[in-house]
Amino acid sequence: MLQLFAIAGLLVWSATLAAGPVTTGADPETELKYWEWRDNGVLFRLTQRLPDQTRAFFMSRGFDKASADTFATSCVFQSMFRNIGDPASSNVRIDLDEWQIKRGKKADQMQVREDWKVVWEDKQLPQSARIAFEWSLLPTQQEYAPDDYNWGMTSYGLPPGSQFDLVFTWHRGDQNLGGQIAGIECAPDIHPEPDAVER
C-alpha cells in the first residue's frame, strides 16, 4: 500500500512511501544481522557491525581509544546503496539529511559526515584520522547511475542493542520516493573471542 509522508520540517515535498519487501537474516559465521530493501529500482542493505570491529578499525587509523569508542557505540552499520533500475532509467540521488530514525513517536536525523566532522575537530583528532573517517562513511549526498553502488558506514546515534525504524528517501528524475525498514537492531556491545587459528 502506498501512502504519502513528509520528512518532518526538513522537506517541502511529499514522497511515495512504499512498504516494499525487506529481507532479513544473519551471517552464519558471525551471526551479525542484516536488513535489505529491494524495490522501486533501488537496493539498500544494512549489516550490523560490532562495536569492537569499529573500535579496532578506527584505532588502526589514528583514533585515540576514547574517540574510537564514541563512534563505535553510536549504532554503526555497514551500508550499501545501489541503483538497480533499468539501464535506460534515470539516475538516483540520495541525501542522508532527509532520512529519519523513528522510535515510537520520536523522529531524529542520522549522524552524517558533517556532524562527526565537528566532533572530531573539537577532539583535535589528527587530520589523517579525520580523512580516513570521512572516506569510511557513506556519503551524505550521492548520485547513482543505473547499476552504480557504493559501501560505507552509517551511524544512528543510539546505544548498542537499541531498536529503531528507518525511513529513507531517494529521488529518481522528478520523482520523490521512499521506503521504511522496521525493527532494525543496533549490534550489542559484546566481545567475542576470535576463533582459534588452526596450526
Instruction: Provide the whole-model pTM.
Output: 0.86
Residue 113 belongs to what domain range?
A: 2-185
**Does residue 193 lie within any of the structural domains?**
no
**Does residue 69 lie within any of the structural domains?**
yes
**Does residue 194 lie within any of the structural domains?**
no
**Does residue 111 lie within any of the structural domains?**
yes
- Burial string for 28-44 (b: 16+ CB within 10 Å, else e) reads eeeebbbbbbbebbbeb
pLDDT tens profile 76-131: 999 999 999 988 889 999 999 999 999 999 999 999 999 999 999 999 999 999 99
Res 194: pLDDT: 63
**Does residue 192 lie within any of the structural domains?**
no
**Does residue 50 lie within any of the structural domains?**
yes
The Cβ-side half-sphere exposure at 135, using a 13 Å CA radius, reads 9
- Burial string for 86-122 (b: 16+ CB within 10 Å, else e) reads eeeebebbbbbebbbbeeeeebebbbbbeebeeebee
Give the pLDDT mean for 174-187.
Answer: 95
**Does residue 198 lie within any of the structural domains?**
no
**Does residue 196 lie within any of the structural domains?**
no
Res 195: pLDDT: 59
User: Total structural domains in the chain?
Assistant: 1
